[in-house]
Amino acid sequence: MNLSFFDQFTSPHLLGIPLVLISMLFPTLLLPSPTNRWITNRLSTLQLWFIHLTTKQLMLPLNKGGHKWALILTSLMLLLLMINLLGLLPYTFTPTTQLSMNMALAFPLWLATFLTGLRNQPTMSLGHLLPEGTPTPLIPALILIETVSLLIRPLALGVRLTANLTAGHLLIQLISTATTALLPILPTVSILTTLILLLLTILEIAVAMIQAYVFVLLLSLYLQENI
């Protein structure tokens, strides 16, 4: 059976049941449950330090009114981070390479930030559609442009995450295929491509972490505009 490069992005099924939900819940198993050694456990202490540092960085652009979102934003970042990193393991499926999943995360959260702004400060939220000092003839065009740019935000969030992870997975598969094919013919070139593959894997680990952070950071910036 010949597989294409894009078959790795197909959601796996078992008896007609999609396994993507299980793959999304699996990262939560990496979080330890509370025990009597919750404070003295080095792993738990390291995780708590990382979560505290992440939450602090995400809350920097927000005022105190936006700190209510700390749990949602931090949980979302940890979920995306673990799913992205686990997706780099061999023979695994990465749910965040699916645009449908990323849009399901981006659109409701963006809509929540927008509705929060309409409820708390409707005048200022709608005022973003028309910059101050705009010439009268340009008002209709600028309102249309700003409305489109506002509505395209969730699409940009989902497409950015999907495109970056998909491109990285495709590059890894292409170079690994070339390494295997060149091994019996040109061993020296195969060793060089193996080194490139190693460097690319390190780069993809960084991309997986950065994209999770950027996704949540942009949501926090959208929230700051509306509170």
Least confident residue range of 24-33, 135-144, 172-181: 24-33
Residue 190, domain member (yes or no): yes
Q: Which amino acid is at 156?
A: A
If one counts the domains in the chain, the total is 1
11 occurs within a structural domain: no
203 is a domain residue: yes
Q: 149 lies in which domain range?
A: 17-32+41-226
Specify if 84 maps to a domain: yes
**62 belongs to a structural domain:** yes
For Cα atoms 28, 32, 34, give the angle at the middle one, nearest 5 degrees: 125
pLDDT one-digit tens code per residue, 62-109: 888 778 888 888 889 888 988 888 888 877 778 888 888 899 999 999
For tokens 């060793």, the residue is 191
d(CA 83, CA 96): 7
Secondary structure string (H, E, C) spanning the chain = CCCCHHHHHCCCEECCEECHHHHHHHHHHHCCCCCCCCCCCHHHHHHHHHHHHHHHHHHCCCCHHHHHHHHHHHHHHHHHHHHHHHCCCCCCCCHHHCHHHHHHHHHHHHHHHHHHHHHHCHHHHHHCCCCCCCCHHHHHHHHHHHHHHHHCHHHHHHHHHHHHHHHHHHHHHHHHHHHHHHCCCCHHHHHHHHHHHHHHHHHHHHHHHHHHHHHHHHHHHHHHHCC
pTM for this prediction: 0.79
Residue 204 lies in a domain: yes
Report yes or no on 7 lying in a domain. no
pLDDT digits (tens, 9 = 90+) for 102-154: 999 999 999 999 888 888 887 777 777 777 777 778 778 888 888 888 889 99
Mean residue pLDDT of the chain comes to 81
Q: Is 2 inside any structural domain?
A: no
